[in-house]
Structure formats: C-alpha cells, structure tokens
Amino acid sequence: MRRLKALKETYAADIRERFEWRAESCGTCPTPGICCVDEHFVNVRISRLEAEVIAVAIDALEQGLSEAVYRRVEATVEKYKLEPDSDETKTYACPLFERGVGCLVHSVGKPVPCITHACYEREEYLPPDELQCEQEVIIGRLNERVYRQPAELMPIPIAVLRSRSEGGRRALSSEQEAQER
C-alpha cells in the first residue's frame, strides 16, 4: 500500500506541475464535483490493490459516514447494473464523492484516471493518454506482485465491494508480513 501511495503521489505531482496549472481549479468550479457524479461520464476501473486502499480509506471515516458510503456503493452497483467485467464504456456516478466535502479518498486512494482528470479549456492542454496508461501498467505490475495474479480492472463500486467482502486486507497483510521477514 505504501508503494502504491508513493507511485500515485509522484504521478499526481507530475500532473500538477506539468499540466494542471492550465486547468480550472476545482475550488472555483461553479458546480463542484459535477464530473464525479455525472453518470454519463464516470467509467473509472481499478485494480484489487487500489480497491483495497479505497476500502481502508472508507473504513477510516467516521462510522456513520463509512456506512453511508458503503450503502451508496451498493446502490451504485444496483442502479447502473455494474458487473466485474462491465464494458469499459459503462458509466456510473461515483459514490465516493460527498457533496460539500469532495472526494472522500482524494488524499489516500484517488484512482489514476481521477488524478489525470481536470477541466482543461483546450484539448492540447490535456496530459497525453500515454502517461495514464503507463501509470496503470506500473500499478498493474504492483498488483500482480502483491496478489500473485494478473490485475483485473473493475468499476470502482464493484472492486470496493469485492475487497470488503473477500477480506482483501487480510491477503494484503499476509503479503506485507512475508516481505518483512
């Protein structure tokens, strides 16, 4: 989890330094979070390791909020009929966005596509797709090292629920214990 966090922090710093200064700040957006809750826009898919980090972040929230987020995650799966192998074009509103607060996993588990995204005025200001793809490949390799199987990308809600129900943290802790020996 530490390696994933370091990878994402480095990637986010690179995006901020090289590209984001040309984008509209989320803080000045007239409709904050509209891109996160736009059910026709969000189609972010993540690995098991990324889902685990998100689940840990949700579990760390105040209990009432944590439970509400998991209910939203479940409702999102039902409403948009999401499946583990959902087509990459299948979209949904992100249940991790809290109106008035923002992304609940922003500082610890924000997925790579979300780090890449910003409101750019002109297409040429956008980060090249290759940067995000490269980062996703690196995270996929890390995921494979931790779980000893190819990374399967799933919509955020499916991946988070699977992590919660399959006890992903136990698998991750066993891997960390083995590395510490």
22 occurs within a structural domain: yes
108 occurs within a structural domain: yes
pLDDT at 29: 83
Under the banding of pLDDT at 50, 70 and 90, the label for residue 31 is: confident
- How many angstroms separate the CA atoms of 170 and 181, rounded? 17
95 occurs within a structural domain: yes
181 occurs within a structural domain: no
Locus of tokens 């500082």 = 107
122 occurs within a structural domain: yes
75 occurs within a structural domain: yes
pLDDT in tens, 106-134: 988 999 999 999 999 899 999 999 999 99
Is 163:52 a contact under the CB 8 Å cutoff? yes
pLDDT at 175: 46
Domain count for the chain, please give it.
1
When pLDDT is averaged across residues 146-164 and rounded to a whole number, the result is: 94
> Quick check: 168 pLDDT over 90?
no
160 occurs within a structural domain: yes
Tokens coding 177: 């214990």
